[in-house]
Structure 1
Amino acid sequence: MDRYMPLTGIDLIPASLLIDTQAPLDVLQATADYGIRTVTQVLENIAFRVDIEGDTVVLADFAKLLAIPLRDGCDLMDVIGRRLRAQASK
């Protein structure tokens, strides 16, 4: 695995947003946790509102916005999984 892995949603070369795949596992996990929990909190706030009246375009844009930190969190969890599997196979 390369030292620096670009985030999934960025297809530019050279990429400017990277994951340091050699960062400590607890740092990778804490970063993933932060993004995923933040999105979860926002989605729960929306889901439990009784008076939501939303334009479908606005809601679609909002969903895309929330997908970014979720995807980044999944990329971080992928790095953690690869490293743990590599440690287990030694």
Structure 2
Amino acid sequence: MAAHPGCVSVDAGQVVLRSRRGTELGRAFQEVVADAAQLPDATALDGELVVWEEGRLAFERLQDRLARRGARAARAATEWPVHCVAFDPLRLSGADTTLLP
């Protein structure tokens, strides 16, 4: 496995990044939270968190990033930035999109 599944949501201006099991991940991946803040309010996306290194997915870097918080997370974000690859919109601007083809 080369990525970490999760969901990012924006509600009332608050961004929440969660793992598939519901663990809050925003403190470890502040760059993803900052990018998601640009999404419309009342939006939720399902996707994968990935780290690219030398043209390949680097799961070990993602695992390392999970363990970091605060200043350590910020430093790691410059070295191994995490990207959210969204593949399924669950809600867009408040509209449930789960039943759309």
The reply to whether TM is greater than 0.5 is no
Answer 1 or 2: which has greater helix percent: 1
Answer 1 or 2: which has greater strand percent: 2
Which protein shows a greater Rg? 1
Q: TM-score, normalised by structure 2?
A: 0.28
Q: TM-score, normalised by structure 1?
A: 0.29
**Higher RCO (C-alpha under 8 Å, 6+ residues apart):** 1
